[in-house]
Each structure stands twice: as structure tokens, then as C-alpha cells.
Structure 1
Amino acid sequence: MAIEVAPLPLPPSADPSKFAEFGREVKGINPGVLTPEQFKEIEELLYKHSVLLFPNVEVTPEQQYALTKAFDPTSESYGHGNNKTGETKKSILHPDLKTIPRVPQVQLIGNGVVYNHEGLAEAKLKHPSHTTFHKTRVSEEDEAKGVTRFYRWHIDAALYDLSPPKVTSLYGITVPKGNKQICRYDDGTGDELEVPLGTTAFVSGKTMFEILPSELKSLAVRSRVKYAPHPYVWMTPAHAKSTGLGIEDEGLEEPWDQLPSWQESKIKIFPLLWKNPVTGGLHFQVHPCGICELYVDPLPAGASREGALYPDGAHITDLATVRDVLYKMQRPAIAPSLVYPHDWHEKDLVLFHNRGVLHTVVGAFAPDQVRAFHQCNLAASDDPVGPSAEDMAKWA
């Protein structure tokens, strides 16, 4: 049977003009048993469209790992290191992940208690919620009415030592149904978004760059961001903004000398813009919660200085300033019209280009609502590639 491809079903809130190339639904193929030729077609589709949905498919943990690994054949360990999240009790990720024993690159995530699952006799899962991470929270009265928030916009990546995965796969096994929720931004804009219960929300890093005004495009193409060592331990005591897009500047982060042992050589410094290996396009890919410093290159010779930001370059170490600069650049792209909130069904397999999108968990479940997903991403064999000399000449 030939591979069938169709646009993803967009919610009424989405601006169709911004999703012309984003997201495809793929039918007529079993992603767990692809031929080499079929995989090449899927690989190209993913890099062109960022998110692929395979509805109603049967995929074992072994098949999910093999499919994810095919995008980066020399990768081996889970994106945060095999079994590492369970051992790092201080990490903010610790409650969210349970490793499948026989395939340690695949994690069980969800909500509630799951019994006798893929070698796990009992797994107590916790769906991450804004109520435990944001500086402020939706009132219990509003929460009872279905009001919620984005949890944490992010890239799947350790951001220390290991390279960011190229692709993440998510497979829905048990998907509780319920009323839609209203995701409120609570940032003074009045923005809100109707979302399915327990959605995974995606935004395009390509769109995030393309909608910037020229002076911020110039800043983005010239900049690199430095991440804190062990960033998920570093950020654990801190609180997120109400939009889930970064950390409030309260000075609550774990002091670097209190973090697990770290080495300067393993700290990650990445360009703000990551180059798509198929399209050549630039995707704005910054995990706003883990950032600590910003490096800006000076304008190239001959470039116009009119209206330019940091025309002579800069090394910004003030954390509040770093966060403010990045927030101004990233916030426009999470506007309701630019968010794709996936409506999960059991046996949905979603592949997404982890170096081309940001995503977040949304919403909250009652303790007795059982939800089980398999997640797989692999620490990559290389770091992302930034803008080329031609990109610099075009945008700086």
C-alpha cells in the first residue's frame, strides 16, 4: 500500500497560513516495520513538516526504539542517559519518567498507577502540572472549571554533556478522555487557547524565527546561548513564568557549587538557530528554562548598524537580561494562532523533529485518571549546526 499523506487537522484557533508546511498525517504504512526505502521517505517528510502523526498503529518498545534510532544510527542512549533520570532524585524530571527495563531508551510517562507493564510490576506516574512549577497558579476554582496552563516549553535534551536528540517519538497507549480545557497565558495579554485534555502542544521553530522583525532576526543569527550545568537540577527550586516559557528571575536556582559534579568542557553552548538538514531552513531552538548566558557576535563588515541590537557584539551574563532578551524573541511564536495542540487517541504514534520544534505538556489529570505513553529520544551523535556564512550575510 502506498504511503498516504494529509495535513494535520488544525483547531479553529490555528492560522492555516502559518501551518501550510507544518505537520502531516501519515497512513497506509506500519512505522514499526519500514523498509529502507519507506524510511527514507518518512525521514524526508519529517524534516520538511516537523511533526508526523501515524494514527491507530501497533508499535512495540523495540520497534519504537529502532524507528527513532534510524534517524541517527550511531546514537544509542536515551536523551538524558539510560536510567539516569531515575537516579537523579534532585532533577525536576525525576517524577515524570519510568524506564522500560528491556529497552532502556524507551520511557513510560503518563499519570496514575500502571500495573504489569512491559516488565514494570507497578509504575506510579505523575503528569507534570503547572501547579508545582509556575510562580503563580490557576485558582482551584478556575481549575475545577477546566482552566489550565502550558507546563514548560522545551526541547527534549539533557543540555549538558549529551547532544540534543534529532527526533522524539511518542506513542499513546492509554489515553483518558474528558472535556476540553482552556489554557490561559495569564501574562496580561488576555491570550487563551482551547485544548484537548492532556494535549501535547507544538510550535514551529522555523515560524518562531520567520515572524521576528529584522533587528531580532539579526540578533538571532549572530547569537549563541550557554546552558547551566545539570540544568534540570539547577532549575528545580525555581519557578516558571505563567506562559511556561522560561523561568522567573527570583534567584532561586540551585547554586552551581551545590550541583552534582560537573565539568566545564561538558557545558553546552549552542547557536540560537539550528539548520534543517533537508530544507536548509533555520529553526529558533532555545530551551528557555536552562539558559544562563548569551553570546552575540558583532555585525559583519558592511552590515547596516541602523536599529541593530548589540552591533559590536556582547557577552551577556546577567541572568535577568538573558531571560528577558530570549523571552521577547520567543513569546510571539506561542500565540494561540501558532500553536498545534495534538488531540491524542490510543495507538497514535507521533514523531517530531526535536531540533525543529518546541513542545510542552498541557493540562492536568485527576489522580485516578490513568494515562500511559511510551517516549523515546536518543542523545545525538553530533551537536546541531548553526547558520551558514550565507545565512549570516542574509540576516545579520
Structure 2
Amino acid sequence: MAIELAPLPLPSTADASKFTEFGREVKGVNPGELSPEQLEQVQMLLYKHDALLFRNVDLSPEQQYALTKAFDLASESYGHGNNKISKEAKSILHPHLKTIPRVPQVQLIGNGLAPAHEGLPPVELKHPSHTTFHKTPHTIDPGTTRFYRWHMDAALYELEPPRVTTLYSIRVPQGPHQRCLYDDGTGDELDVPLGTTAFVSGKTMFDILPPELKSVAVRAKARYAPHPYVWMATAHAMSTGLGLETEGLELPLEKLPEWNEEGVKIYPVTWKNPVTGNLHFQVHPCGVQELLIDPLPEGASRNGALYPDGASLKDLKEVRDLLYKMQRPAIAPSLVYPHDWREKDLMLFHNRGILHSVVGQFAPDQLRMFHQCNLAASDEPIGPSAEDVAAYA
């Protein structure tokens, strides 16, 4: 069968001009049984479009793991380590992930009391909610919600960020749309399907920056806290889900699980797409502890430049304010793709090129079951080239 492509079903709120290359629905092939030629084509399509949707797919955990691994044959363990989250009860991720026993690279996530499933006994699933993580949760009525936390799937300590994430829907509860409120004084809000996963393009996030912030983005590196999901678990997120409030509530480093400096991750702020060569602004704002900014390259204009001599920003509020200034424009309602899940949807997304967020609240009796798979990569992300720095700095 030939692969057919169709645009993703954009909501009326989306600025279609910003989604001309982002996202495609793939038809005509079974993603669990791709031929080598089809797999190669799907890989190229993913890096070109950053998100691929397959509808009405029957996919076993073994097939999902094999498909995910095909993007990085040297990868093996789940993105946070096989069965590792279950051993870190203090991690903010701990309540939300249940490992499929025979395929530990695949996690069961969702909401409600799930029946015995793929070797797991009946288990209570917990859908992440902003009401337990944001500093000022919005609780006016059940028809409103917020973005929970904008992120990429990555341990950000010891293990490298996965190249792709695969997300497969098994049970999708039905219900009215909700209004996702930003509650940041802008009046921004977004109509979203119940339990949507929201996506934004890291390429767009970089492209829409003004020149002085593009210059910072290509010169900067983000240093993440050790065990960042334990470090942030006692802190509160901002109302947009885009980073943490600075209240001094992060767990002190001496109280974290044992860690070493070699495991601490420092990544470029912009990551280079291996197929298109585009730069993607790729930062998990909740986990960043420090920003390291290189000086302007020799010969670059210093007129209007920020941090022309470079900088090491250690003050958390300064770090977070700068990242927020650069990232907030890209989560504007017109730039968000909120996926309207159907049962047996499979979404592949370029985990090194986009950010995503859980959205929405469910009633306790609304059963939602998804399989998620991502694999700690065998390589580090590639940052901007010297030519990129010269072009933008």
C-alpha cells in the first residue's frame, strides 16, 4: 500500500499559516507492520512534520516498542529508565506511570480504575491535573481547565532525551469540551477537547523570536537540576504550565537521591532537526537550574545585543523570566494543536522538536487508558552549527 498524507484536523483557533508543515495524518499503512521502505518513509515524514497521526490502529505493546525503537536502534530502556520511576516515590511522575510487565519500555497512563490489562492487575490510574501542581489552581467550574506542564519526554539526568514518543489511545472517555484558561492577565483561553494532549512546535517557538532573543537562543545552554522531577516535586507551576514559580520550594540538592556531576545534563537551548536542518527551541522550563550564554562571535554586531560578553545566569527567577519571555509567545492559542483523541489513535511525535502538555480534568469514574513509549536515546541532541550562530547572533 502507498502511504497517503492528510493535514491534521486543526481547530478554528489555529493560525493555519503556522501549521503548513506541522503534523500529518498517515493513511494506507499499518504502523505495527511497516516494511523497511515504509519505515524509512515514516521516519523522514516525522522529522519533516514533527507529528504523525494514525487512526483506528490495532497495536500491541511489543509493536509499539518496536516502532519506537526503529527510530534509534541502539536505544533500549524507557526514557526515564525501565521500572525506575516506580522506585522514586518522590518524583512528580511517580503516580502517573504504570509499567507493562512484559514490555517495560511501554507505560500505561490514564485515569480511573483500569481493569487487569497486559499483565497488570486492576490499577487506579491518575490523570495529572493542574489542581495538584499549579500555585493558584483554577477551580471556578468543571468546564474550565489549564495546561498541566509543558515539557518534552526526557529524564534530563544521566539518560539522553528520546528522539520520538509514541502515544496510543485504548480507552477515551467522552464529554464536553473544556476552556483551557491561561490566567496570566492576557485573557488568553483555548477551547479544548476533553483530555486533549496539546502540542506546540519548537521550530515556530524559535522562528517567531525577535532578533535579540534569537541571538540568545543560539548562544545559550540550559543546565538541568540533578533528578529534576524529584527536585521540582515540592514546587508549584505557573498558571500557563510553562515553568515554575520562584518560591524557594525546590528540594535542596543535598536532599535529592544520590547524584553525581557526571550525570547532570547541559543541553543547547536550540536543537537541530536531523533531516530539515531547522532549529527548534527545546527547553523543559521546569527543570532548568542555570543558563550558560556564550559571548557574541567575533565580528557580530553588539548593537541591541543581550549578554554580548556572555553570562552564567544562576538566579532562578532571572533564568525563568528569560525562558518564559522566549517561550510564552509560542503557546498562544493560535499556535497550539490540541489533539482530539479517538480510541485506537496512534500519535508519533518528534520529542526533540516539539513541546506538549497534558490538559483537562476527568471525573473519577471516567476511564482513560493510553500506552506511552519513548526510549532514552543513544546520542545527545545536536545544537546550532557555527554557521547558525553566525547567522542569528
* TM range, smaller chain: over 0.9
- Flag as ranges the 4+ runs of structure 1 deviating above 6 A: none
Describe the SS at the equivalent of 1:143: coil
CA distance in 1, matches of 2:215, 2:34: 41
Give the whole-Å Cα distance in 1 for the aligned partners of 2:122 and 2:272: 42
Residue aligning to 1:8: 8
Q: 1:191 and 2:173 equivalent? A: no
Counterpart in 2 of 1:237? 234
- Specify the SS of the correspondent of 2:39: helix
For residue 87 of structure 1, report the CA deviation from its aligned partner: 1.0
Equivalent residue, structure 2, for 1:159: 156
Secondary structure of residue in 2 paired with 1:95: helix
- The residue number in structure 1 matching 2:27 is 27
The 1-side partners of 2:95 and 2:298 are apart by 50
CA RMSD of aligned residues (A): 0.5
Deviation of the 1:317 alpha carbon: 0.6
Report how far residue 115 of structure 1 moved.
1.3
C-alpha distance in structure 2 between counterparts of 1:355 and 1:126, whole Å:
26
Q: Which residue pairs with 2:344 in the alignment? A: 347
**Hey, what does 2:263 align to over in structure 1?**
266
Aligned counterparts of 1:219 and 1:314: Cα–Cα separation in 2: 10
Match of 1:316 among 313, 316, 340: 313
Question: d(CA) in 1 for partners of 2:229 and 2:116?
Answer: 29
Query: Is 1:37 aligned to residue 58 of structure 2?
Result: no
The aligned counterpart of 2:80 is 80
Task: Tell me by how many angstroms 1:17 deviates.
Answer: 0.2
Which position in structure 1 is the counterpart of 2:370? 373
Q: Partner residue of 2:68?
A: 68
Q: Deviations over 1:230-255 (max 9, x none)?
A: 00000000000000000000000000
**2:141 equivalent to 1:143:** yes
Cα deviation for residue 289 of structure 1 reads 0.3
In the alignment, does 2:169 pair up with 1:172? Answer: yes
Residues in 1 aligned to 2:36 and 2:259: alpha-carbon distance in whole angstroms: 40
Q: Which amino acid aligns with 2:18?
A: K
What is the CA–CA distance in structure 1 between the aligned matches of 2:180 and 2:141, rounded to whole Å?
A: 10
Deviations 1:101-146 (A, max 9, x none): 000000000001111100011121000000000000112xx232x1
Distance 1:177 1:306 in 2: 54
| Cα distance between partner residues in 2 of 1:250 and 1:15 | 35
SS in 2 for 1:208: helix
Q: Aligned equivalents of 1:143 and 1:73: distance in 2?
A: 47
* Structure 2 counterpart SS, 1:315: strand
Aligned partner of 1:285: which letter? Q
1:73-113: per-residue Cα shift (whole Å, max 9, x none)? Answer: 00000000000111100000000000000000000000011
Q: In 1, distance between residues paired with 2:85 and 2:55?
A: 29
Task: Tell me the amino acid that sits aligned with residue 300 of structure 1.
Answer: P
1:223 paired residue number: 220
CA distance in 1, matches of 2:233, 2:294: 31
TM-superposition CA deviations, 1:307-355 (whole Å, max 9, x none): 1000000011111100010000000000000000000000000000000
Uncovered stretches (5+) of structure 2, i.e. residues with no partner: none
Alpha-carbon separation, structure 2, partners of 1:85 and 1:78:
10
Q: 2:379 matched to which residue of 1?
A: 382
1:283 is aligned with what amino acid?
A: H
* Residue 294 of structure 2 corresponds to residue 294 of structure 1: no
TM-score using structure 1 length: 0.99
1:281 has 2:278 as partner: yes
State the SS of the aligned residue for 2:121: strand
For 2:339 and 2:116, the matched residues in 1 are separated by: 28
Q: Deviations over 1:179-209 (max 9, x none)?
A: 0000000000000000000000000000000
**Paired position in structure 1 for 2:331:** 334
Alpha-carbon distance in 2 for matches of 1:269, 1:116: 41
Find the aligned partners of 1:85 and 1:138 in 2 and give their Cα distance.
Answer: 28
Partner of 2:390 in structure 1?
Answer: 393
CA distance in 2, matches of 1:108, 1:124: 11
TM-score, with structure 2 as normaliser: 1.00
Give the SS at the match of 1:173: strand
**Cα displacement (A) at 1:56:** 0.4
The whole-number CA distance in structure 2 between the counterparts of 1:226 and 1:101 is: 34
Aligned to 1:181: 178
Secondary structure at the counterpart of residue 194 of structure 1: strand
> 2:151 corresponds to which letter in structure 1?
H
Alpha-carbon distance in structure 1 between the residues aligned to 2:267 and 2:99: 28
